[in-house]
Amino acid sequence: MWGLRSSRTVILGLATVVFVFACFLPLLYMIALSLEPGSVARTYRVLLLDARQRDLLYNSAALGGGAALLSTVLGVPLGVGLAWLAIPCKRLFRLALVAPLLLPPYVVGLAWIYLGSSTGIVATVAGRDFLSEWTYSLSAAIAVLGLVYYPLSMLATEVAVRRVDARLEEAALLVAPPGRVFAKITLPLAAPAIGAAALVIFVLAVSDFGVPGLLRVRVFTTEVFTAFSALYDFGRATALTVPLMVLATIVAVVATALVGDRLVAGRRALGGSRPLGFDRWRITISLFGAVVLIAALAMPLAVLVREALGAESIATVVRGSWSAIQASIMLAAIGATLVVAIAVWLGYARARAGLVVGRLADVLFVVLFAVPSTVVGVGLIGLWNRAGPFGQLYATDAMLLLAYLARFVPVAALVLAASVRQVPVSHEEAAAVAGAGWLRTVFRIVMPQAKLGILAAWIVAFILSFGELGASVLVAPPGESTLPIRIYTLIANTPSSHVAALALLQAAVIFGPLAVLGLATRSREVG
């Protein structure tokens, strides 16, 4: 059944080959290029000798560190609250708190520009402009990314706190007040997961292109983009990717070591009631959550609405960008489908792998997901822009699909691995004993049980693809444009009301699938 010609071997082998081609080769190409004799010296020079590069390194590290810190400060109390407290309308509250993560960071960055600009709400209400200078600064970029990524810290904290055996807290509550129990028992036990989330946020912030690009903060990703698209300096762009890739690898290894198998464990949180004694925090945390929601979601959306209302006609704006909107939705849908079609097999293989292979796969997935979008874009161009069969795809929409595959297959594989792990191996063994082949077992036994995970992976892939900017802006064929590319290119020379209207439209398309996922999980729980 498991021989070389078995359906299992063929399908998992094919998925692996596609994964290597789509996700690994662009990165490998960049690494190989940076290791060529001429490039090594250049890489070294870029990394160590230039004061400009040291500034770049400082800015990137400060952006990542600051965003990780802010996200953790915001996310941990909210995660604890969601895990422990009987907050009214908790499902809705959690969904709303997660929503900022689904907005492309540059959309939130755009809102903050409109908020803090010389004609923005703050200047209008205060009667003077004291924010516009700050808006284009490193600390503003940290604030925006912190507000976008805090849900990651919140969700990691909630899961980690739920997994702490309630009896450990009860044993401590017998002798210590709730605050001390939290500090000495709960927090240390949840700390690895919280730390891993902070590391992931660090990498995401360091590899983000949209926000530092908009707020004019010089970091590695913007420098890669400039080196390639403005200066056409492929070698410099390649050299600049090295520190980011090294960073991504270190963080992936540390994160995997910290959370271990739990990265894909997907274990159900402990049910039942939480220990008494923490209820007094309910009002404080609810209020804190409301403030965070206003800052991270309500205010950016309100600012965009206010700005969009200045447009002569929303319909005109939409009509003007209709082809980009259509292309974006269609490409994101096709991209998400392809991503899931490959990731489902990789996720299955990861879920059923042994300890060592599984951990290595986790590291690889996290590293690949953390590769900055502009690096992926440059790698794809270097790989596919050549004569012969490879070149046939270049300058077509297929490049955008390849970019989506390269960026999002790894994260979809992690989501799906978590989902498949919830299906006991014994279910497959029972099917095998009953005479079912592997393929039949996967389609009839495994996938039906993992269908919510598959839906979630598709929606995650759709949302990420729909908002993808850094790689798309580099690989999109001439004359073709997706909505993020159009927004990014319109910012410089179009009224802000038009840009805001398009950004709102983008948010609306993203929140649609989220509502579907919310309804799907609800119906499953009710059923």
Partner 1 sequence: MTRPLLQFEGVTKRYGRRPALHAISLSVEPNEAVVILGPSGCGKTTLLRLAAGLEVPDDGTIALDGEHVAEPGRNLVPPHRRRIGLVFQDLALWPHLTAREQLDFVMGSVAVPRSARTERARQVLTLVRIEQLTDRYPHQLSGGEQQRLALARALVGQPRLLLLDEPFSSLDPELRSALRGELLRLQQSLALTTIYVTHDQEDASTLATRLVSMREGQIESVTSPAPIPRTASRAGERLS
Q: Which residues bind partner 1 (CB under 8 A)?
A: 165, 167-168, 170-177, 180, 184-185, 188-189, 275-277
* Choice between 175 and 526, CB closer to partner 1: 175
What is the smallest separation between the CB atom of 181 and partner 1, expressed in angstroms? 8
Report the residue number, 190 or 217, with the smaller CB distance to partner 1.
Answer: 190
Q: What is the DSSP string of 379-431?
A: HHHHHHSSSSHHHHHTTSTHHHHHHHHHHHHHHHHHHHHHHHHTS-HHHHHHH
Least Å distance, CB 277 to partner 1, is: 6
Q: Each residue of 183-214: b (16+ CB within 10 Å) or e? A: eebbbebbebbbbbbbbbbbbbbbbbbbbbbb
Helices then strands, counting H and E runs in the chain, come out as 31, 0
Q: What is the closest distance, in whole angstroms, from the C-beta atom of residue 85 to partner 1 in the complex?
A: 16
For the chain, the C-alpha Rg in angstroms (whole number) is 23
Comparing CB distances to partner 1, the nearer of 173 and 505 is 173
Question: Least distance in Å: CB of 272 to partner 1?
Answer: 10
Nearer to partner 1, 272 or 479 (CB): 272
| Amino acid letter for position 47 | L
Q: How far apart are CA 166 and CA 161, in angstroms?
A: 9
> Closer to partner 1 at the Cβ: 195 or 210?
195
Closest approach of partner 1 to the CB of residue 265, in Å = 17
169 or 397: CB nearest partner 1: 169
Of 283 and 357, the one with the shorter C-beta distance to partner 1 is 283
Residue 275 beta carbon to partner 1: minimum distance, rounded to whole angstroms:
7
Choose between 190 and 403: whose C-beta lies nearer to partner 1. 190
Beta-carbon contacts of residue 454 (< 8 Å; ≥ 6 apart): 340, 344, 416, 419, 447
| CA 404 and chain centroid, separation | 13
The residue (of 181 and 500) whose beta carbon lies closer to partner 1 is 181
Write down the least CB distance from residue 254 to partner 1, Å.
19
Min dist CB 385 to partner 1, Å, is: 53
Least distance to partner 1 from the beta carbon of 271, Å? 12
Q: What is the distance between the alpha carbons of residues 226 and 228, in angstroms, rounded to a whole number?
A: 5
Cβ 161 to partner 1 shortest distance, Å: 14
Tokens 């390639």, residue?
228
Residue with tokens 């200045």: 310
- Our CB check for partner 1 shows the closer of 276 and 291 to be 276
- Which one-letter amino acid corresponds to residue 99? A
Using H for helix, E for strand and C for coil, what is the string for 63-116?
HHHHHHHHHHHHHHHHHHHHHHCCCCCHHHHHHHHHHHHHCCHHHHHHHHHHHH
* Cβ neighbour number for residue 473 with a 10 Å cutoff: 23
DSSP 184: I
Q: Report the distance separating Cα 314 and Cα 256, nearest Å.
A: 47
Between the two ends of the chain, the Cα-to-Cα distance in Å is 36
**Quick one: tokens of 68?**
């990780």
